[in-house]
A and B are shown apart, each in its own frame.
Chain A
Amino acid sequence: MKLNKDKLADFLAAIPGKTIFGPQLSGETLKFTPITKTGDLCLTANNTTVPPKSVVFPQTETMLRFEQGATDIRTAEPAGETVLFGIRPCDARAMYIVDNVFFWDVDDPYYLARRTNSTLVGMACLDPCVNCFCTSMGGGPASTEGLDLLLTDLGDSYLLEVLTGKGEMLCQGAGNLLDEASVADKEAAKLLQQKAAGQIRRKIDPSGIPARLPALWESPVWEKVSASCLGCGICTYLCPTCHCFDMQDETEGAESRRYRTWDSCMFPEYTLHASGHNPRPARRERTRNRINHKFSYFVDKFKVIACVGCGRCINLCPVNIDILDILSKVGEEAL
């Protein structure tokens, strides 16, 4: 199917009862926020600075509320239905990967509710960034894992591919806005997607990494790659697959709430014990953990690398710690 760009606003308006999030400027930053005007959407810009995980896994999320002197606990309001419009295939794939954790031994009710209530409308990535390496991590500019619908920008219109039942539901109300896509349209989209994949210049073969990591536990490579690390949270907070959180209570007057908030394994207190002992005392150990979690532990448990190659950690690291550089060093280091 095909959607003329003139009809985009009508298409979005025809989606009833769901909050539609899209990439928009918030301050100076691109992130997924609820759409009020179609004109504010930045659909051609590169990846958002803040990944769309913030919609299904908000940075700060209230879990329950309680009052001093009372015994009743009010749990959080159930999450409403959402659409993530214009999500990049790498970010959708990241959610697909992270689902493994939140639906694992115990279902996480907060994530579960938001995730099952969300419909992911992807936008094929036709102009990759300098540090994109999705093709090395099992994805690609038009990868469909995690997506319900995929759009490809054909200039005046979007080619629309329905991938799941959820995606089909979304199009139901908009039937009269959609045109039939011709074979030529599909061919054109395929060519654009292939061209984009060809533009990705950063590459690595990660296949040997998971097996090498355990043997490199005490390797001097970790000291080398973490020497300049500042210990900030950029690489983890802005990673679409990082999913660690901390739980805290906050009191205001007589009312308190328990909430969870993103946490980062790059912070010292992440592993600080009540005794004062810290099993990951320095940035060497923390950097080692970041790489091991994505490329070893996650692979052991879920048979997939927890990195989608979106390039955010490389783009935004203040001191140019480059995950591809770390991986190539891990690949070369003598065992």
Chain B
Amino acid sequence: MPDLEKLRALAKETISRDDIKCLIGWRPGTYGYRTSPHFVRSPEDADQLIFSPLCSSNLATYLTLAEKRPVPRGAQPDTRKVAILVKGCDSRAVVQQVAEQGIKREAVYVIGCPCEGIIDLRKLEDKYPHTLERVEARWENGKISLDLPGGRAVFPREEIVAGKCLTCRYPNPVIADVTVGEDVEVRGSAGFEDINWLEVKNAQERWAFWRDKVNSCLRCYSCRNVCPMCYCEECILEKQNPAWIQRSVNISENTAFQLARAFHLAGRCIECGECERVCPVEIPLTHLNRKLVKEVSEQFAFTPGVDPEAKPLLVGYRPNDKEDFIL
């Protein structure tokens, strides 16, 4: 658990540098357990920064989400770096974006934050609903402690963290220009036991599982917009001519949307779980993504977002690549 004073001091030093235009971190939210992305543009802004088990947002999304406003005539474009706080999973998004040439490595200054797991707010809200007062949380010797209005509560990590944190193999940032806090123990296994229960079902049973979930999709596109790997300037969802996916919200078009998104993330998903976290109708999207991660791992022994020099899976070719899935 990093010392907040050290984190803020580092942020102040960083934002004071001439070659940094902005630092993206987290700050306490407006109520209860929520935190919010925080854009530090001056040393004073850094006083609000936090890093805790409540910092769920993957800030790497903002590296590609930034809107490029036209540069006024006579002015020079601002080419300074963006500094960004990353957890382990978030750092993999940065690496994958660099590997795909979505961003340039020299355009970002990465501040690594080793992470012991992020709280799943749905689990917390089930236990303590209607909490308006701001709550702080800390990692403490493999447990997570919370200062709730009714007093302190301590949970075993496994009871309260998000599902993606239970399978996480990269709690320590895989890329960082500077790191705050000590490296933490890797607890996730390399296997895919978490999706076994779904894989053993037959096709009909699997469809029965997904049908209701996909049917409730509202097509708000929060899963796409929050995804650090969904940064295409033009997305097939907005294409009108041809309209690959119709705007009508029904099970057929919703399925086409969810499957298209899943396939576009094959060999690219870095398992930050943001899509599942933000879905207002609670579609368990990490199951889909984990299945693709598994296929990519078993077919090609490839893990995305760990090596910025590695060629992205789908643009690479090796003569000994497996072909047994080709009909």
Q: A interface vs B, CB < 8 Å?
A: 26-29, 31, 49-50, 59-60, 129-131, 201-202, 227-228, 230-234, 237-238, 246, 248, 250, 259, 261-262, 264, 267, 269, 281-283, 314, 316, 318-322, 324-325
Contacts and interface: CB of A to CB of B under 8 A. Distances in A.
Interface residues of B, number: 46
B280 A238 contact: yes
Contacts of B31: 130-131, 202, 314, 322
B35 A320 contact: yes
A319 B30 contact: no
Nearest to A50: B218
B176 to A, nearest CB: 23
A233 B248 contact: no
Given A228-B57, A232-B224, 5 more contacts: A28-B282, A130-B31, A250-B248, A264-B220, A318-B57
Interface string B135-150: 0000000000000000
Interface of B: 29-32, 34-39, 57, 61-62, 65, 67, 69, 129-132, 212-213, 215-216, 218-222, 224-226, 238, 243, 246-250, 274, 277-278, 280-283
A188 B226 CA distance: 47
A2 B144 CA distance: 49
B212 A27 contact: yes
Contacts of A250: 246, 248
Given A29-B281, A234-B280, A282 B34 contact: no
A26 B211 CA distance: 11
Contact of B39 (A228, A282, A283): A228
Given A230-B65, A232-B226, A250-B246, A318 B278 contact: yes
A33 B32 CA distance: 31
Identify whether the interface residues of B are mostly helix, strand, loop, or mixed.
loop
A264 B218 CA distance: 12
B301 to A, nearest CB: 33
Nearest to A246: B247
A27 B248 CA distance: 19
A250 B225 CA distance: 25
26 contacts: A26-B212, A27-B212, A27-B213, A28-B282, A29-B216, A50-B281, A60-B247, A227-B37, A227-B39, A232-B221, A232-B222, A232-B226, A233-B218, A233-B220, A233-B221, A238-B218, A238-B220, A248-B247, A267-B221, A269-B238, A314-B31, A318-B222, A318-B226, A318-B277, A318-B278, A324-B30
Contacts of A324: 30
A237 B218 contact: yes
Chain B CB within 10 A, most for which of A230, A234, A237: A230
Nearest to A231: B225
Nearest to B223: A232
A324 B219 CA distance: 26
B265 to A, nearest CB: 17
B37 A319 contact: yes
Contact of B247 (A29, A231, A261): A261
A281 B68 CA distance: 10
Given A227-B39, A320-B30, A130 B130 contact: yes
Contacts of B278: 230, 232, 234, 318
B146 to A, nearest CB: 16
Contact of A230 (B32, B226, B283): B226
Contacts of B30: 314, 320, 322, 324-325
Contacts of A283: 67
A234 B69 contact: no
Nearest to A202: B132
B246 to A, nearest CB: 5
B282 A248 contact: no
A281 B57 contact: no
Given A202-B132, A281-B67, A27 B281 contact: yes
Contacts of B69: 281-282
B248 A259 contact: yes
Chain A CB within 10 A, most for which of B61, B212, B280, B281: B280
A314 B29 CA distance: 11
B222 A233 contact: yes
A26 B218 CA distance: 12
A237 B282 CA distance: 15
Contacts of A27: 212-213, 215-216, 281-283
Contacts of A281: 67, 69
Contacts of B130: 129-130
Contacts of B61: 230
A223 to B, nearest CB: 10
A116 B141 CA distance: 61
B245 to A, nearest CB: 11
Nearest to A284: B67
Contacts of B29: 320, 322
B214 to A, nearest CB: 9
A123 B298 CA distance: 54
Contacts of B215: 26-27
A281 B37 CA distance: 22
A60 B281 contact: no
A53 to B, nearest CB: 12
Given A27-B215, A59-B249, A130 B32 contact: yes
